[in-house]
Structure 1
Amino acid sequence: MNMQFSVLASGSTGNATYIEADGQSFLVDAGFSGKQMERLFQQVDRKIEDLTGIFVTHEHSDHIKGIGILARKYKLPIYANEKTWKAMDGLIGEIPTDQKMTFSMESTKSFGPVDIESFGVSHDAAEPMFYIFHHHGKKLVLLTDTGYVSDRMKGIIANADMYLFESNHDVDMLRMGRYPWSVKRRILSDVGHVSNEDAAVAMSEVVGDKTKRIYLAHLSADNNMKDLARMSVEQTLLSRGHVVGEQFELYDTDPKTATALTVV
């Protein structure tokens, strides 16, 4: 069976991504209420109770809001590193010990023919990490919530078949927006979020011959727009020798609506 994935929803208000292959199915983050998560799963005609497990990137609420209720209601194993587990204490309610799984940073876990690789990012959380899904030579990279993309990270995520890539904000919109300066400084910092332009620069340095799709994710509700993100990313990629529509395609994500379940 092919690996398939759907960005169930992505944005500054919540994030969740679904991946399946060979009878295994995975959820990365659950940044919505239990009812919202059930609605998102219905959009892709899948059931939460069939999940192999839920994988947590970090403890911010837009990534863990539904973790506790899903774990308890559906008796699902939850995977996170030790520092993230400690940071989630008191935020997600009680999780039975036998459902609390440790997934260390910079390690790989195998579930049948699916290998899930974790890697660290630069974000203001306890020990934030994201995931790469490997299946029969296919490579799917999930990367949001990082202030910058380091050379180390670029080496790890290079030449994937498909990317979910943060394109959080337009710098001018952020600077002129309603946020207090302390919040703006945090977003613009090395432990904040990457801008449209910075995301595109990183994309230009990691895409390869295998790359076919890039999904723009985690757009700020206040400091970005889909059309603006797409235009900024396309222009920056073009300036660096990559023509969208030739080597690969760009796709939007939405904070309320799932993308179609797509073969990687």
Structure 2
Amino acid sequence: MKFTSLSSGSSGNSLLVETDKTRILIDAGFTGKRLETLIKNAGVLPETIDAILVTHEHNDHIKGAGIMSRRFNIPIIANEETWIAMIKKIGPIDDNNILVFKNDYDFTLKDLDIHPFSTFHDAANSCGFTVNHKKNKISIMTDTGTVNERIKRQLFGSDVIFIESNHDPIMLMNGPYSPALKRRVASTKGHLSNLDCAQTLEEILSGNGEKVILAHLSGENNTADIALNTVSNHLMDLGLDLNRDISLNVADRNGVSNRIEL
């Protein structure tokens, strides 16, 4: 199984998961033209994508989903509430390409076993995903204001953990956002801070070589260096060796990065 972050940040998100038989996008938060370029930059032809899975209906996750579906006849898979919330945004979709899952219930897509788990965000019914193939497991969790024990159980045992590290609280407090937007981001229906991310990882990592990718960084309220330093310092204080026990990287906000083959 291969995993590639095509781009991840507050301005747009899309991920690629591949096996020898299957290719899926998780989210499509860029223009169709930009998505085509990102997919090709990852060494893949857009017409070979088997499905687009959607975490929630915010524009930085669905902007190009409709055009990609229409252009390349790609099914879009989302829960019912997300479909209702996004259908007017993404435009008409062929009936055959409208597929529905239910949060917290497994489904299979060719040779991938997928579990969508509910998250806490100000969206219709947001979710993250675990994707399993043979003995490998990839977990994707962004856009959640808090993490409960149910989510931690889903993330545990992953080979790859793509996890939100959205903002630095001091930068958020002193930054350009309005007071209302600052409260939204910091709320339990907003986004995880760098420390929130680190504390979540503290409870789910085994130190067995997991590959951790910090994701969905804010362009205004975070930097890659601050996120990486906050999380790495917290994990090293717990005794984890970042050269031996795990690997820790930050997803590029504007281009392909973190290509991992399991």
TM-score range, shorter chain: over 0.9
For 2:193 and 2:258, the matched residues in 1 are separated by 25
Query: How far did residue 210 of structure 1 move?
Result: 4.1
CA distance in 1, matches of 2:127, 2:53: 10
2:232 is aligned to: 234
After superposition, the CA RMSD in angstroms is 1.1
What amino acid is the match of 1:197?
Answer: L
> Match of 1:31, as an amino acid?
G
Aligned-pair CA distance for 1:217: 0.4
Match of 1:193 in 2: 191
Give 1:175's aligned residue: 173
Q: In structure 2, what is the equivalent of residue 253 of structure 1?
A: 251
Q: Which residue identity does 1:82 align to in structure 2?
A: E
Residues paired across the two proteins, number: 262
Q: What is the deviation of 1:41? A: 0.9
Is 1:79–2:77 an aligned residue pair?
yes
Task: Give the Cα–Cα distance (whole angstroms) in 2 for the partners of residues 189 and 261 of structure 1.
Answer: 32
Once the two structures are overlaid, the 10-residue window that deviates more, 153-162 or 119-128, is 153-162
The answer (yes or no) to whether the contact 2:77–2:101 under 8 Å persists in 1 is yes
Q: Which moved more, 1:236-245 or 1:51-60?
A: 236-245
Q: How does 1:6-45 map to 2 (within 5 A)?
A: 6-45=4-43
* Structure 1 position 209, deviation (Å): 4.8
**Which of 114, 124, 127 is the aligned partner of 1:126?**
124
**Which of 176, 184, 206 is the matching residue for 2:204?**
206
**1:195 CA displacement:** 0.3
Matches within 5 A, 1:99-114: 99-114=97-112
TM-score, normalized by length of structure 2?
0.97
Deviations 1:197-247 (A, max 9, x none): 110000110112544210010000000000110000011112333232221
- Corresponding residue for residue 159 of structure 2: 161
- Hey, what's the Cα distance between the residues in 2 that align with 1:10 and 1:221? 11
Aligned equivalent of 2:145: 147
Contact 2:53 2:76 in 1 (8 A): yes
Q: 1:155, 1:211 → 2: CA distance? A: 18
**Residue 191 (structure 1) shift:** 0.4
Distance 1:170 1:19 in 2: 29
Aligned mates of 2:202, 2:245 — CA distance in 1: 11
CA separation in 1, counterparts of 2:179 and 2:234?
27
Q: Give the % identical residues.
A: 37
Runs of 5+ unmatched residues, structure 2: none
Q: Which runs of 5+ in 1 are unaligned?
A: none
Q: 1:122, 1:191 → 2: CA distance? A: 5
**Residues 77, 99 of structure 1: 8 Å contact kept:** yes
Q: What letter is aligned with 2:127?
A: M
